[in-house]
Copies of this chain bind each other. A is one copy, B any other.
Amino acid sequence: MEKTLEKKQLIKKSEDFSKWYVDVILKSGLADYAPVKGCQVFRPYGFAIWENIQRVLDEKIKKAGVKNAYFPLFIPEKFLKKEKEHVKGFSPELAVVTIGGGKKLKEKLVVRPTSETVIYEMYKKWIKSWRDLPLLINQWCNVVRWEKRSRLFLRTTEFLWQEAHTVHETHEEAIEEVMRALKMYVDFYRDFLAIDGIFGKKSESEKFPGAEKTYTYEMLMPDGKALQGCTSHDLGQNFAKPFGIRFVGRDGKEKIPWQTCWGFSTRSIGALIMVHGDDSGLIIPPKIAPIQIIIIPIFQGKPSDRILEKKVKTLKSILKDFKVKVDFRQEYSVGWKFNEWELKGVPLRIEIGQKEVKENKATLVRRDNGEKYSVPLVALVSETKKTLDSIQKNLLEKSSKYLKENTREVFDYKEFQDIMKRNRGFLKVFWCEDPKCEEKIKAETKATNRVLPLNALKEKGKCIYCGKKATHRWIFAQAY
């Protein structure tokens, strides 16, 4: 048999999660290693997921009155230096252009790791009056952060994202925008990517370099490690001041505006892969799947069965409102096809053969739980819709269950250490908010402070590390 026709053998998720992750990405055709160190190629199947994510998020972004624009890839080095925390945070990760048009450049250009500085230089020029506010702009683009150790989707030197940058008259308005964006991301993760998580505020040491406050959505991966899903930053006036952004207020006086920025990246696809996949491959939530239904005609030795072929075409037209693909290829066996589309995580398979044609039925097979049942063609559309909805719901429920079972309240540092050595997960603990305790916990357990849940109550407690007074329970975990 030719090599391309061999069944693709996948490393089992249950046996080696880390190897499975890379294996499933490469074999399902989501992505490939680029010939440039630390970079990846988004293959059509993987990029189609990103396009679906973009379509949904872009619509939400536009509905909120935020407009898309495009700012340059290159940032003069001096801009980056204007906000001192910002440059400190990003300096170690920069790719720098020093030659242009065959000549050594007088001023080095940084390939954007994020675009605050180049965007705010423009905002300074564009904003004059309160009439120009709020200024709400987003861009979808590539960014570059030099990575020593890369991991497909999760940590690559170049990645794709959207970054929105908004400017407001008041701090209240800016905070409202930060929360609106955070909620948009949380809803998107739950409703579309079917991944439950915990959202809230980052600690001072974990926040974005230059931000006043950073908010995020933290998810738990099957190996018990956390993945940060997005960020929404209250920038206060930290950038507006050094960048000289000013506006004439309603009272005629010059004022300093308040800023936010928020972003969502292709990292989210990494979460999707890890959370839902199984030993057979990917499982893509129906709402975001490039292919929702794969129809596989079962020819039983007759490779040119006209009746069956016609039936399949009818089926496809009945299901026109779904994303359907028919695998008509005759050079591959039915078994090979089952394996292939399971690997690719298509949520629903429809089989149709002689038997189904005779009985005017189709056989549906769910990717998430393997359930198989026969549906009369007259009920196919409604049953398909119901099944896809059920798969979407089931994936979120599974994720919620896992999150719940692996979020533990811990009051004892010994227990904290033990869990971090064993099965990890989220630990909800009192912390005194002293960065030194955070540092020591990290050094001793590899766990970092992930987030203070937004709904966290003020309580009376003792810091899990130093025993001093603590008022809130924070989430700690080892993180990607």
Contacts and interface: CB of A to CB of B under 8 A. Distances in A.
Interface of A: 2-4, 32, 34-36, 39-44, 46-48, 50-51, 67-76, 79, 91-102, 108-109, 111, 118, 121-122, 125-126, 128-129, 131-132, 137, 141-142, 144, 146-148, 157-158, 160, 248, 331
Contacts of A46: 69
Given A97-B111, A102-B91, A146-B101, A4 B131 contact: yes
Nearest to A128: B4
Contacts of A95: 74, 97, 99-101, 109
B99 A32 contact: no
Question: What does DSSP make chain A's interface, helix, strand, loop or mixed?
Answer: mixed
Contacts of A157: 74, 100
Given A98-B98, A101-B94, A74 B39 contact: yes
A252 to B, nearest CB: 9
A142 B144 contact: no
A249 B40 CA distance: 29
Given A95-B97, A111-B111, A131-B331, A35 B69 contact: no
A39 B36 CA distance: 25
B111 A101 contact: no
A125 B144 CA distance: 25
A142 B71 CA distance: 11
Contacts of A147: 101
Given A4-B131, A128-B3, A70 B94 contact: no
A463 B406 CA distance: 81
Contacts of A160: 70
A269 to B, nearest CB: 12
Contacts of A121: 35
A7 B40 CA distance: 50
B34 A71 contact: yes
Contacts of A248: 2
B148 A36 contact: no
B34 A72 contact: yes
